[in-house]
Amino acid sequence: MSQNKSQQDAVAWACGTEPPWSSPLLDEHRPGTYHCALCDAALFASDSKFNSGSGWPSFFQTKTDLETQDDHRHGMTRTEIKCPSCYAHLGHVFPDGPPPTGLRYCVNGIVLRFLPDGGETQA
């Protein structure tokens, strides 16, 4: 658990990236909502999730407006996405997604928490 937490911190606060194919959310196909794992803001709906083949959970639409910021690291210009509530780094958005938005929100699963529709017991 503590390793998971430090890995989460590295992604959220140091703009880290989890290893591709490491997120259990890649195999999550139930209807529900993806929340920020740090502050619980609802970020993505399951019906906007798609299989991008990138190795990270991917969405073509957000449930709420995210904070965005140009990211020029690694010699590329990308658009970083952040949680609008706690400003945790989530991942990047790319202009090569499927219709209707044409966007691909590429998100680190470790900073997401999935809540299935109908609820899972809270405690």
Interface positions with Zn ion (CB under 5 A): 36, 38-39, 41, 83, 85-86, 88
Q: Minimum CB separation from Zn ion for residue 87, in Å?
A: 7
Q: Minimum CB separation from Zn ion for residue 73, in Å?
A: 21
Q: Minimum CB separation from Zn ion for residue 91, in Å?
A: 13
Dihedral sign from CA coordinates of 54, 49, 113, 94: positive
Distance (Å, whole) CA 96 – CA 51: 13
Q: Considering beta carbons, is residue 49 or 89 the nearer one to Zn ion?
A: 89
Dihedral sign from CA coordinates of 74, 103, 57, 117: positive
For 85, residues 6+ apart whose C-beta sits below 8 A from its C-beta are: 36, 39, 41
Q: Considering beta carbons, is residue 14 or 76 the nearer one to Zn ion?
A: 14
Q: Is 39 a catalytic residue?
A: no
Q: Considering beta carbons, is residue 41 or 98 the nearer one to Zn ion?
A: 41
Q: Answer yes or no: are the C-beta atoms of 76 and 42 closer than 8 Å.
A: no
> Which residues are designated catalytic?
106
